[in-house]
A and B are shown apart, each in its own frame.
Chain A
Amino acid sequence: MVRVVFEFSGGMELLFGNQKVVEADVPQHNGEQQLTVAAAMAWARDNLLTERPELFMKGSSVRPGVLVLLNDTDWELCGELEAAVADGDRVTFISTLHGG
């Protein structure tokens, strides 16, 4: 199990029962040592998401218009889907806003 702090903002929280921060113990894939962002994301979809999964993910990745952060850093700088999530890490999903 890896302790993960999920954060949802920019409207993403609406898909997760209006929760902005959720701490959860996420199991690694069978036998694997590491938890990847991809696995954490799929776990959040299967266990935390309350509605409209198509607004969260597209295929095995996040849907267009959502920024994923690992400990406040753009996941592209950490390895995207394959980035390793360690105990206590924060995985953040921010939906881009257009209003003004």
Chain B
Amino acid sequence: MSTSEELERLRAENEALKAELEALKRSQQPPAAQAPAAAPAANGGGAACPAFAPWDGMQHGLDKQQISRYSRQIILHSFGVQAQARLCRGSVLIIGAGGLGSPAALYLAAAGVGRLGIVDRDTVELSNIHRQVIHRRVGGEASVGVHKALSAAEACRALNSSILVETYLEGLTPENAVELISEYDVIVDASDNAPTRYLISDACCVARRPLVSGAAIGTDGQLTVYCHGEDGPCYRCLFPESPAAGNCARCVDAGVLGVVPGVIGTLQALEAIKLVSGVGEPLSRRLLAMDCATGRFHCVKLRAKSPACVACGTSPAITAATLPTYDYAGFTGQAAANDAAPAPLQLIPREERITPRQLQERLAAHPDALVLDVRPLEQFNICHLPGAMHTPYKHFDRHLDAIRARLATPGTHPAAAGTAATAGDAAGQDGTAEDSSSPSEQPPFYVVCRRGNDSQRALAALRRAGISQGVDVVGGMEAWAREVDTSFPMY
């Protein structure tokens, strides 16, 4: 083809496209503006609007705006206009607007899921933002203090105003779970605790809804689809017995690299999109285990649903009638409020404990007094009292010899010398610990942790090892930061 021929062809194509564009512009005008267009005179003498529909698709029901917005996935061979139409007509309920829910909600909103439900009951804290990236205020950095469901909904609407976003501010409860879940096509478990995970799975069994389950902690993530198809298992099929509460690491204790739930939450959006649109193979009877530290993604094969399962078996004990009164806290041995601080315990006699304020006074009087800090190394490294000795509660027994040696070292309080000899003085020491401000009655050392529970356990371990001295600090470093030194960083 010669250059001039090519030029001619392009000109013709250009003209044709211009005409098409004009026609489309006319068809896009709102009805009020479109009416005059039918009269050529009122429209500057332009072409008359055709009496027939200007374009026809495959009865997908998407409008021009939607086609334009979702065009890159519509033109995808494996997706197409019908899958997009199903997505736009579909609904997804996201339970938890945290680290998993953040990317899940954003991607589902962006992808055009017609109706999104967001369930949460917490407000945003500064320590959430590193992974819960959905919570940001226009013109501000973070929405600290704002309800998570509202904050997430606002971000979804800002991203895509053409979808409907619904919020549930009371969280998911056994009373509302089945009804709420029944109102949506696909459920995303973006929660952060065992009782809620069992509740969601049970309610999905009862309501017969597919469940996209994701979890993340530290640098590990897991993803699977429950309650799907003929043979897909539910959470209980895999884990009929709940792990003990102490075996469930929580982000607030164990930490989490922000991007890890980000990856899993994004994959949850993907699985939800596949389920709503009917495209691809859902991750049912398979579990993706992700080890971000080593970059290993492992997809493993899971069992089929169990006929004996109490939730999804042939004669389930958990039904729409029984679920609302099921004791999930009792079953899992833990409350659903996951980020909450553990309840303050009273494990050792009250007179062997002092307040942070009392500790401050005693340290002022005796700068050499020994402080044992039993928090994990990562927390100790953030900030600790000057001169504090680090003896983490985990493997506490390994530190006993070092503690004995330190107590015997000159420079520590004289009463510390000869630990064994003073073992019998426990009662006397303890009696004065609470209310005495007399320096001569000072106990030789103090034990602190994050909140005042592990420090009591550590003291109990010291007692068992024959070390009868030492005083616990009620409320730990969190209370110290509140009551004594507000500049002390907390986490």
Q: Which residues of A contact B (CB under 8 A)?
A: 9-11, 20, 51, 55, 63-67, 69, 72-74, 76-77, 92, 94-100
Contact A74 B220 (CB under 8 A): no
Q: How far is the CA of A51 from the CA of B394 in the complex (A)?
A: 10
Q: How far is the CA of A76 from the CA of B194 in the complex (A)?
A: 22
Most chain-B CB neighbours within 10 Å: which of A55, A63, A67, A92? A67
Contact A65 B217 (CB under 8 A): no
Contact A64 B216 (CB under 8 A): no
Shortest Cβ distance from B154 into chain A, in angstroms? 21
A9-B291, A76-B303 as given contacts; A100 in contact with B190, CB under 8 Å: yes
What chain B residues lie within 8 Å of A95 (beta carbons)? 243, 247
Contact for B291 among A20, A69, A77, CB less than 8 A: A20
Contact for B192 among A9, A10, A72, A99, CB less than 8 A: A99
What chain B residues lie within 8 Å of A64 (beta carbons)? 239-244
Contact B248 A98 (CB under 8 A): yes
Residues of B in contact (CB 8 Å), total 47
Contact A74 B192 (CB under 8 A): no
What chain B residues lie within 8 Å of A76 (beta carbons)? 303
Contact A11 B217 (CB under 8 A): yes
**What are 10 residue pairs bridging A and B, where the CB atoms are less than 8 Å apart in the complex?**
A9-B291, A55-B247, A64-B241, A65-B247, A69-B300, A94-B222, A94-B287, A98-B197, A100-B99, A100-B215
Contact A74 B303 (CB under 8 A): yes
Q: How far is the CA of A77 from the CA of B300 in the complex (A)?
A: 12
Within 8 A of A (CB), among B271-329: 287, 289, 291, 294, 298-303
Contact for B218 among A11, A20, A65, A73, CB less than 8 A: A11
Contact A100 B216 (CB under 8 A): yes
Q: How far is the CA of A77 from the CA of B285 in the complex (A)?
A: 11
What chain B residues lie within 8 Å of A11 (beta carbons)? 217-218, 220, 249
